[in-house]
Amino acid sequence: MIKIGLLGLGTVGSGVYKIMENNYENIKNKVGTALEIKKILVNDIDKQRELQVDRSLITSNYREILEDPEINLVVELIGGEEPAHKYIIEALKNKKSVVTANKLVIAKHGNEILSLAREKEVQISYEGSVAGGIPIIRPLKESLAANRIDEIYGILNGTTNYILTRMAGEKLEFNKVLQEAIKQGYAESDPTSDISGLDAAYKISILASLAFETFIDVNRVYVEGIENISLRDIELAEELGYVIKLLAIGKKENDGLDIRVHPSFIPRKHPLALIDDVYNAVYIHGDAVGDVMSTGRGAGQMPTGSAVVADIIQVARDIHNKRLTPNLLESFQNYKLKNIEEVENCFYLRIQVKDKPGVMSRVTKILGDNRVSLASVLQKHRLTPVVPLILITHPVKEKYINQSLEELRQLDDVITINNIIRVEESS
Amino acid sequence: MIKIGLLGLGTVGSGVYKIMENNYENIKNKVGTALEIKKILVNDIDKQRELQVDRSLITSNYREILEDPEINLVVELIGGEEPAHKYIIEALKNKKSVVTANKLVIAKHGNEILSLAREKEVQISYEGSVAGGIPIIRPLKESLAANRIDEIYGILNGTTNYILTRMAGEKLEFNKVLQEAIKQGYAESDPTSDISGLDAAYKISILASLAFETFIDVNRVYVEGIENISLRDIELAEELGYVIKLLAIGKKENDGLDIRVHPSFIPRKHPLALIDDVYNAVYIHGDAVGDVMSTGRGAGQMPTGSAVVADIIQVARDIHNKRLTPNLLESFQNYKLKNIEEVENCFYLRIQVKDKPGVMSRVTKILGDNRVSLASVLQKHRLTPVVPLILITHPVKEKYINQSLEELRQLDDVITINNIIRVEESS
């Protein structure tokens, strides 16, 4: 019998409890011994819960879990940075193995946590922290262990993917879809972390750290959200043969790692372009395996619960068999993180110019002088003195785009720069 | 240092050798000790090989590997049933762990091999046996361990998928594409095992055995190949909003397991419909995780090599750490395998009838009398006395279709029954 302490009984915590209850015998067979949830930490003992849990299991005192010598596996599902981080550290210090789905803590404190687990000879598993139920952390560490991975592309945030899908499908503006998504529970009441791209940044930091065998400081990852994507951009993307997705990107290049999160034009036929609604996907390129992609539900009680319970089964088996699965990533490598200014991309520029002679020549001269060459130009004539100009560039370093934009803003012909979106060309 | 014996130096064997050589330091870090390929078994020592291998490593005497007490990991990459099966058994009996990519041996003798490995307390791993480099065996056993899996759909044979993709893309008939595929190396010179669906049957037997925690006898799996798919069927599928794929299906239903391989109509928007060329994909539904799908290259030297070396790393780590990763599937379950006659599907029927009054009524009466109801009817008029009739049925047990076909064949109005293909409706 292995006794487990559960920290948190929210959405995922309840899912984990249910899965463990419904699959009790099955899990017992897989582990080789029964698993018992001995204590559950909650904020408010008296809160009404959908899930019926024996009152004696519940405590609001974390010491009853972290200091109980009978508990040797702690499952952290509180979320957020503190006190989750403190509890994980405390559990490891007390030689308890830890399973968590906390992307924020792993992305920010992964180095400290992994080292401590190694020192204390206990396990730390976090499959649930990225892409919900899609098996990705373990496959990266184990199934693709023979590969040098050089590219990861992910759609790692379900809320933003849902919003972009609905904007495109129903021709709605961002704010309208966001408000409805909040009402329907597809977005949190404070959706900032999702919308701003930060949630995806935590996740790509975790995946890229594993794939490139290093530790990526999430604070140094370039992040841009979807707040500025308008229906007009989505329609123009369609017209040009693309869709817009919030992409999380990790690439290993000769001059450093390129890790970033931002909206991207993706060619309509690219496999990631077809990932809609709340689905997540991870696309990986390795030298031996070539391209592999996995997709599934990236969040939610049961998908994330599935990943957490899989981790619990693995860790409990190792505890039961008194053995330590060594962390595969013992040799951390150091890489330079590329500055976004040095990253090369194609760009979509949507600007509004005055309808007068020579405008196009003046605009393209500025671009050309700054090494920006154009792949396509779309000029939409309307019955106004204002002309929308849509440009797609060839690959160019971001700093040259930024210089161009600065000069364009000063040009009297340019009324507004509506949007700049990076364009992924399929490799 | 862990010493490895390699059986076979063909396509995959050479790939494994290369990956292990190119990633020597990286693999050493991951395992915790160096891996040395001590001996390689080949048929013909003097054969000219693309790969440069030290002559002293090569032997044509399997005893030099299977009876060498220094070798504790045997990697079987000969393929085919015998002597591969005999060597695997021999290696396990001598307490050597085994890594193999041999779908045929695992599908046919998996029970014997897994039991023997358990008895001898050594490892058996076979990630490379299904879907090349796509991580699927380990995720099924480990990452989805908290799920009750009830459905697997796979595109598991690259050759047939390549042929169907080219038929559809270039409007070519089966035989023409097959001959070209053989010339270009996309199909084997004897393509029977691929074309007939047998190769996919081995693979779905392995996946379904893992997913449903049982042992599926591949001889009892219903198998139908793509030999009878004509360009006309592909064109009609397109017209009706489908594509044709060779599907490998495993379903757990209340009245037994439904395991089969056959060409299927798949709705054009289904994720599997988009898997083209030599790509493979596996689509799984579990109670907690919902739908997950993984896709990638299903065969080839480097993708399969990637899976085999990942297995080698895992098994070598366990040998190095003197521990046995227990087989997660210790509790085999018994299920009835459903007879194909009892399986319910929608069907596409393409028949040719005489162009005379009352034909449609007589044909549909036979169907109706046999409980077959129609979802759609497409009647193509041509300037001949022969009318092609394309019918899509509602779900109905296969036995009722078979009865209908028998009666239709006796009907004077029916000239030919061109084809019958099962139709997957998205669930």
- Start and end residues for every CATH 3.30.70.260 domain found in chain B: 340-423
B93 catalytic residue (yes or no)? no
Chain B closest CA to A68's CA: distance in Å?
26
Asked whether the beta carbons of residue B328 and residue A30 sit closer than 8 angstroms, the reply is yes
User: Which residue among A146, A310, A317 places its CB closest to the CB of B144?
Assistant: A310
pLDDT reported for residue B185: 87
- Start and end residues for every CATH 3.30.70.260 domain found in chain A: 341-423
Longest dimension (CA), chain B: 82
pLDDT reported for residue A322: 80
Query: Chains A, B: CB contacts under 8 A, how many?
Result: 172
* B149: closest chain A residue by CA: A306
Asked whether the beta carbons of residue B145 and residue A309 sit closer than 8 angstroms, the reply is yes
pLDDT reported for residue A355: 87
pLDDT reported for residue B325: 63
Residues A391 and A371: their CA atoms lie apart, in Å, by 14
* A270: closest chain B residue by CA: B274
Q: Which of B203, B245, B251, B252 is catalytic?
A: B203
What H or E segment, with its residue span, contains residue B259? strand B256-267
User: Contact, A104 vs A79, CB < 8 A?
Assistant: yes
Q: For domain A2-130+301-320, give the CATH number.
A: 3.40.50.720
> Hey, which CATH number is domain B137-297, 3.30.360.10, 3.30.413.10, 3.40.50.1000, 3.30.1490.70?
3.30.360.10
Q: Which amino acid is at B60?
A: S
Residues B157 and B299: their CA atoms lie apart, in Å, by 8
pLDDT reported for residue A321: 84
The helix/strand/coil state of A419 is strand
Parallel, antiparallel or unpaired: strands A2-7 and A71-76: parallel
Residues A249 and A264: their CA atoms lie apart, in Å, by 10
pLDDT reported for residue B382: 67
User: Contact, B280 vs A286, CB < 8 A?
Assistant: no
Please name the fold of domain B340-423. Alpha-Beta Plaits (3.30.70)
Full DSSP string of A141-204: IIITTTS-EEEEEEE--HHHHHHHHHHHHHT--HHHHHHHHHHHTSS-SS-HHHHTSHHHHHHH
**A276 Ramachandran zone, left/alpha/beta (phi>0; psi -120 to 50):** beta
Chain B closest CA to A326's CA: distance in Å?
9
Q: Which amino acid is at B308?
A: V
What is the assigned CATH class of domain B2-132+301-320?
A: alpha beta
Asked whether the beta carbons of residue B143 and residue A307 sit closer than 8 angstroms, the reply is yes
- Start and end residues for every CATH 3.30.360.10 domain found in chain B: 137-297
Q: Which alpha helices (H) appear in B255-300, and where do they start and end?
A: none
pLDDT reported for residue A386: 87
List the catalytic residues of A.
Answer: 203
The token pair that represents B35 in the structure block: 């891996």
The token pair that represents B328 in the structure block: 């997660």
pLDDT reported for residue B321: 84
Residues B140 and B25: their CA atoms lie apart, in Å, by 29
Full DSSP string of B375-400: EEEEE---SSSEEEEEEEEPSEEHHH
Asked whether the beta carbons of residue A293 and residue B296 sit closer than 8 angstroms, the reply is yes
- Start and end residues for every CATH 3.40.50.720 domain found in chain B: 2-132+301-320
* B20: closest chain A residue by CA: A146
CA angle, residues A320, A321, A322, in degrees to nearest 5: 90
Residues of chain B positioned with their CB less than 8 A from the CB of A138: 138-139, 142-143
Chain B closest CA to A23's CA: distance in Å?
7
Asked whether the beta carbons of residue A133 and residue B287 sit closer than 8 angstroms, the reply is no
The token pair that represents B36 in the structure block: 């040395």
pLDDT reported for residue A232: 96
* A314: closest chain B residue by CA: B142
Chain B closest CA to A63's CA: distance in Å?
29
Given CATH 3.30.70.260, say whether it is the number of domain A341-423: yes
Instruction: Quote ipTM for the complex.
Output: 0.91
pLDDT reported for residue A401: 97
A260: which residues sit within 8 A by CB, 6+ positions away?
A204, A221, A222, A223, A224, A248, A249, A340, A343
The helix/strand/coil state of A296 is strand
Instruction: Give me the residues of chain B with pLDDT under 70, please.
Output: 324-331, 382-383, 426-427
Asked whether the beta carbons of residue A295 and residue B292 sit closer than 8 angstroms, the reply is yes
Asked whether the beta carbons of residue A297 and residue B289 sit closer than 8 angstroms, the reply is yes
Instruction: Give me the residues of chain A with pLDDT under 70, please.
Output: 324-331, 382-383, 426-427
pLDDT reported for residue B340: 96
Residues B123 and B316: their CA atoms lie apart, in Å, by 10
pLDDT reported for residue B383: 67
